[in-house]
Chain A
């Protein structure tokens, strides 16, 4: 969700990094406001399957049409900081809300967290608040540090910290529990208390096998899409079957709003970290981690605090937004029928190179193979429908 606000600032003539100048209260208000707006606005394309919470629960401005929670939230702070004041903030938030935003699929949070960006930022913050080993930081970096600590790492703090309580004490465990339930996957890192979590009985243990079977069939379709002679091995019915299975199993975990709040909080949190390394932001510059790619900035940040980022971070960053978009589309049920299959693999459908769905699928297949070490460009195999195990699918190094 923070990428929306950053884009809105850019559209209004401000730098993308201006987002890091806002007060934590403003940013927390923004997140809560977007959540409330989306939660109570009901269903509708493209995200209706993910809006199953009862709109009446906790709707503090129910029955009002214009002024209410929104108005209260958007007026907390005044004076300009770092060139952006509350008017800039309100304008940007208004633009975001008017654009019909939605949050990423949970897979986005899983893939971004596997780069280890969360733990690396935690280490950076520890260094900043406990010593001066990282040198003098600019006022902008100090604001980023305060906002990051307040929003992401403070127990019982703002909305983004709301997934911990007496009944689920660890944010790490809460995130791992959600990944387990939705994908039957664990993160590729972490040890000790960070790696402990409750494994629910209800989990999509065949997610990876089914998803990879879909990728294999799509790749076969892509290879055969423009055949003018010889057999065409594309199997549209198989693609529809795998898409339908994914639709059903992901939907099973979302019954009556299950995991919706977790998904919103986790993807929003990861979008903050994603944004932190997406460009040469103040903290990146102050820690001399400037680079041309997110994965390289992350690698340099990690080296400053004695940590290591994931060796496949490039593929994980490339996958995150694409797989998120794909799974949201699949969960809409649009690909449950064989007639839809061609859209997933024919890049020239509608014109030369005009199909963004198939173009993204090719990138997903390439980077999924690289990140997981699973060769999904091999001949299709039939998943057994039971389990691929409970372990991480992303290689450890």
Chain B
């Protein structure tokens, strides 16, 4: 993990402390960052699994058409009446 070096005088307090070489603070920040990275990694893995699950579900399991079933049936009836399908 690279430390951030801020060169101008308007640096935020954290950066100024980093510049001052506060070893304890650097260690703590590093720890926090590692922890956050683990959390984010786990979140990403979970989201990816969920996405794959949804995709598989959409392909393999018919979605409940609900009120659409009658609309689809009506559409088929119209197509049949127009001589477009048998």
A307 part of interface (Cβ distance < 8 Å): no
Given the known interface contacts A3-B83, A349-B65, the answer about A228 and B72 at a Cβ–Cβ threshold of 8 Å is no
Given the contacts A321-B84, A356-B72, A357-B71, A348 and B63 also touching, CB distance less than 8 Å: yes
Contacting residues, chain A, for B59 (C-beta < 8 A): 352
Q: Say yes or no: is A339 at the interface (Cβ < 8 Å to chain B).
A: yes
Q: Mark B50-61, 1 if CB is under 8 A from A, else 0.
A: 110011001110
Q: Which residues of B contact A343 (CB under 8 A)?
A: 65, 67-68, 71-72
Asked whether A135 is an interface residue with its Cβ less than 8 Å from the other chain, the reply is no
The answer to whether A350 and B58 have CB atoms under 8 Å apart is: no
CB within 8 A of A349: which of B50, B68, B74, B86?
B68
CB distance from A232 to the nearest CB of B (A): 13
Given A228-B50, A340-B67: A352 in contact with B83 (beta carbons within 8 A): no
Is A356 in contact with B81, judged by CB distance below 8 angstroms?
Answer: no
How many angstroms from the CA of A99 to the CA of B79 in the assembled complex? 12
> 0/1 per residue, A306-346, Cβ < 8 Å to B?
00000000000000010011001100101100011011001
Q: Kindly state the separation between the CA atoms of A67 and B62 in the bound complex, as whole angstroms.
A: 49
Q: Give the size of the chain B interface in residues (CB under 8 angstroms).
A: 29
User: A75 near B: Cβ within 8 Å?
Assistant: no
For residue B70, give the distance in angstroms from its CB to the closest CB of chain A.
Answer: 8
CA of A325 to CA of B85 in the docked complex: distance in angstroms?
Answer: 12
Contact A100 to B81, CB < 8 A, known contacts A354-B62, A355-B68: yes
- A329, B78: Cβ atoms closer than 8 Å: yes
Chain A binding surface, main DSSP class:
loop
Please, what's the 1-or-0 string for A217-256, where 1 marks a CB less than 8 Å from any CB in chain B? 0000000001011000000000000000000000000000
Contact A350 B65 (CB under 8 A): yes
Contact B72 A355 (CB under 8 A): yes
Residues on A with C-beta less than 8 A from B83 are: 3-4, 7, 99, 101
Q: Is B69 engaged at the interface, CB distance under 8 Å to the other chain?
A: yes
Interchain nearest-CB distance for A351 vs B (Å)? 4
> Is residue A132 contacting chain B, with contact meaning CB distance below 8 A?
no
A332/B63 contact (C-beta < 8 A), A321-B82, A350-B69 known: no
Residues B58 and A226 in contact, CB atoms below 8 Å apart: yes
Most chain B beta-carbon neighbours within 10 Å: one of A3, A100, A328: A328
Closest to B76 in A: A356
Contact in complex: A356, B58 (CB < 8 Å) = no
Give the residue name and chain of the B residue nearest to A38 (CB). B81
Contacts A229-B47, A229-B51 given; indicate if A329 touches B75 (C-beta within 8 A). Answer: yes
Q: Which of A178-217 contact B (CB under 8 A)?
A: none
Asked if A349 contacts B63 (CB within 8 A), the reply is yes
Residues of B contacting A102 in the complex (Cβ-Cβ under 8 angstroms): 78, 81-82
Choice from B51, B62, B78, B82 contacting A350 with Cβ under 8 Å: B62
Shortest distance between the CB of B58 and any CB in chain A (Å) = 6
- Rounded to whole angstroms, the CA-CA distance of A328 and B83 in the bound complex is 14
A354 to B73 alpha-carbon distance, docked (Å): 11
Q: Does B30 contact A (CB under 8 A)?
A: no
A329 to B74, Cβ gap below 8 A? yes
- Do the beta carbons of A351 and B63 come within 8 Å of each other? yes
Query: Which of chain B's residues have a CB closer than 8 A to the CB of A335?
Result: 71
Q: B37 on the interface (CB 8 Å rule)?
A: no
B72 neighbours in A (Cβ, 8 Å): 343, 349-350, 354-357
The 6 A-B pairs with the shortest beta carbon distances in the complex, nearest first, are A351-B62, A350-B65, A4-B83, A343-B68, A102-B81, A46-B78
The interface of chain A, by Cβ under 8 A from chain B, is: 3-4, 7, 45-47, 99-104, 226, 228-229, 321, 324-325, 328-329, 332, 334-335, 339-340, 342-343, 346, 348-352, 354-357
- B→A interface (CB under 8 Å): 47, 50-51, 54-55, 58-60, 62-63, 65-69, 71-72, 74-84, 86
Q: Could you list 25 A-B pairs, sorted by A, with CB under 8 Å? A: A3-B83, A7-B86, A46-B74, A46-B81, A100-B81, A102-B78, A104-B82, A226-B58, A228-B51, A229-B47, A324-B82, A325-B79, A329-B78, A339-B66, A340-B67, A340-B71, A348-B63, A349-B68, A349-B72, A350-B62, A350-B69, A352-B59, A352-B62, A355-B65, A357-B71
Given contacts A99-B81, A325-B78, A340-B71, 19 further A-B contacts (CB under 8 A): A47-B78, A101-B81, A101-B83, A228-B51, A324-B82, A325-B82, A325-B84, A329-B74, A329-B78, A334-B74, A335-B71, A342-B68, A343-B72, A349-B63, A350-B69, A352-B62, A355-B65, A355-B68, A357-B75
